[in-house]
Amino acid sequence: MANLFDITSKSLEVAIEGTKLRHQLIVNNIANGDTPNFQSLDINFQDALKEKLALWRRNSVIKGRSTKSSLKRLEEREFNIAVKLSAEKKLDASRLRATIYTEPSEQERLDSNSVDVDREMAKLMENSYFHRAYLELYNKKSRMMRMAITGRI
Amino acid sequence: MKLQRTLTPISPKLQKNDVKNTKSDQQTGSFSETLTDSMEEVNQLQKEADRAIEALATGETKDIAQTMIAVEKANVSFQLMTQVRNRLVEAYQEVLRMQS
Amino acid sequence: MKNMDLFTSLNTSVTALRAQRFRMNVIANNLANVHTTRTEKGEPYRRKEVLFATNESIPLFQDNVNAALRKYAGLTNTFSNAARGVRVTDIVEDQRPFRELYNPGHPDANEKGIVRLPNIDPIVEMVNMMSASRSYESNITAINITKRMAEKALDIGS
């Protein structure tokens, strides 16, 4: 745990970046709540992260090499783990490819706008909460690392 | 935690090589064994905290409280171990001073 | 993912605030002119509406930075302008016919005694106003949340 350079920290970094990106998209959805023909966008970085972690674990176990070198090899190759949804754009997030997808709304609006402001607000709250949680966890790890280095609590 | 039980009787058992074991019948195992076990426990808690963090990051769980608790457990046990290490080093240095 | 930060979100929300306020102004103007029978053009006041569009084609400073980074540093994963916000593209006049009222004594009555009144329904305008105000508030909340997230990042290391 007191190691800022292990796979857990990298997962946290990806999660922080992913929630930040999701925040941009949700804020954009809210801003375009009245724009005709606008489709609300979202991103799912968790699945891509999960697949990449599973891949890393499988590689580091099957190949039997040290964890450091296999992680480096993984990072050197480009991993195109696209989430199979109605893809709008592919976006690179910290060497991870997660797809931005459109979310259809439950109600049909006359101006073909698919944004549900209440749902977007709920997503905004939840996403910001997780973003701050990831930041706090990263902070805890870095504090522990510092304590391990200096020996002072 | 096991360390609590071993801390109260602070015996000269700290340095097996330099000091004679005058109270060797006071504890069930040697101090170094207990220390190793506790360190293993700390390591275990660290691994669990790592797993909890990964579960949170990949979205498997949405329970932040559980993750925070696991992380805090790991942190507190690590802090305890660090303090024990600091005290051991101080005691060792004091023992060295005594000898000279 | 190099040039995306939370301040772009602030910009997005600000574009929405500006757009909604503009819309409010237009609605307020409609309401104020609900009885205007004569404008400079000679005919009654025509109801005006705003058109919104996503803000994708307006170049921002960030796009110039991205272009420079792509050219000089070879960075390819710069974010495109997919999440820029909203802008008002046009103010259009509602082409529905004017309301007609029989009032021969009115100065603006035509030879048949009919006065043409603006094609504004105050109830519709009020509903639009509530919608604009609600959108404005949601964007204010979004700004507050963005601010809290950015502040939390400052705590790393302390």
From the list C119, C22, C4, C69, the residue with the least C-alpha distance to A24 is C4
Mean pLDDT by 10 residues, chain C (158 residues): 66 92 95 90 90 69 56 48 77 91 87 90 95 94 93 82
- Report domain extents, chain B: 34-100
Q: Residue C55's pLDDT is what? A: 77
Q: Which portions of chain A are predicted below pLDDT 70?
A: 1-3, 59-99, 106, 153
Check contact B-C (3+ Cβ pairs < 8 Å).
no
Q: Which residues of B touch A (CB under 8 A)?
A: 45-47, 49-50, 53-54, 56-60, 64, 67-68, 71-72, 74-75, 78-79, 82-83, 85-86
Provide ipTM, 2 decimals.
0.74
Q: Residue C107's pLDDT is what? A: 87
Instruction: Give the pLDDT of chain B (100 residues) as one tens digit per residue.
Output: 555 555 545 445 444 554 444 444 445 678 888 888 888 999 999 999 999 999 999 888 988 999 999 999 999 999 998 898 889 899 999 999 988 7
Distance from CA of A93 to the nearest CA of C (A): 5
Separation between Cα atoms, residue B81 and residue A147, nearest integer Å: 11
Cα-based angle C128, C143, C77 (whole degrees, multiple of 5): 110
In sequence order, the 6+-apart residues with CB closer than 8 A to the CB of A122 are none
Residues 70-109 of A with CB under 8 A from C: 89, 91-94, 100
Q: What are phi and psi for residue C147, nearest 5 degrees?
A: -60, -40
* C39 backbone φψ class: left, alpha, beta (φ>0; ψ -120 to 50): beta
